[in-house]
């Protein structure tokens, strides 16, 4: 695949990652992992990697997050789960650009 078709990690936003993670997690585990906009990390998300943000969610959820595996495994499964055409409608993120990788036919 061309490097020009790959979406860089810095294009992903905490809001979109959080919405996708909440939809992926079991309903009974969602309440412990919810974050408001005020509790997002203070430093710019462009400076953070996706793994760091998911680690914050994991720390907030505590032991309930362990069933999803490591942070890397959760992130890998989340990317598989959330990459489908018009996913922005399902996750209600129409204003969050570049959240899905291009589909090459």
Is the residue at 103 inside a domain? no
Per-residue pLDDT of the chain (105 residues; tens, 9 = 90+): 566 666 555 556 777 777 788 888 887 777 766 665 555 665 555 566 778 888 888 888 888 888 889 988 988 888 888 777 777 777 777 766 555 556 566
Give the domain range for residue 50: 25-37+44-98
Is the residue at 65 inside a domain? yes
Q: Could you tell me which of 59, 72, 75, 89 has the C-alpha nearest to residue 12?
A: 75
Q: Could you tell me which of 11, 52, 15 has the C-alpha nearest to residue 34?
A: 15
Is the residue at 68 inside a domain? yes
Is the residue at 56 inside a domain? yes
Number of domains making up the chain: 1
Task: Quote the pLDDT of residue 73.
Answer: 92
Is the residue at 2 inside a domain? no
Report pTM.
0.66
Torsion, Cα 23 103 8 70, to 10 degrees, reads: 40
Could you tell me if 24 and 82 are in contact, meaning their C-beta atoms sit under 8 angstroms apart?
yes
Beta strands in the chain (DSSP E): none
Is the residue at 13 inside a domain? no
Is the residue at 12 inside a domain? no
């Amino acid at each position: 695949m061309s490097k020009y078709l790959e979406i860089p990690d810095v294009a992903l936003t905490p809001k979109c990652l959080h919405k996708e993670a909440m939809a992926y997690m079991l309903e009974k585990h969602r309440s412990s992992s919810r974050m408001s906009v005020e509790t997002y990390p203070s430093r710019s998300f462009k400076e953070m990697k996706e793994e760091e943000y998911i680690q914050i969610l994991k720390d907030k959820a505590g032991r309930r997050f362990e069933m999803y595996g490591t942070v890397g495994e959760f992130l890998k499964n989340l990317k598989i789960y959330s990459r489908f055409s018009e996913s922005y409608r399902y996750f209600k993120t129409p204003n969050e650009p570049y959240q899905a990788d291009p589909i090459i036919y």
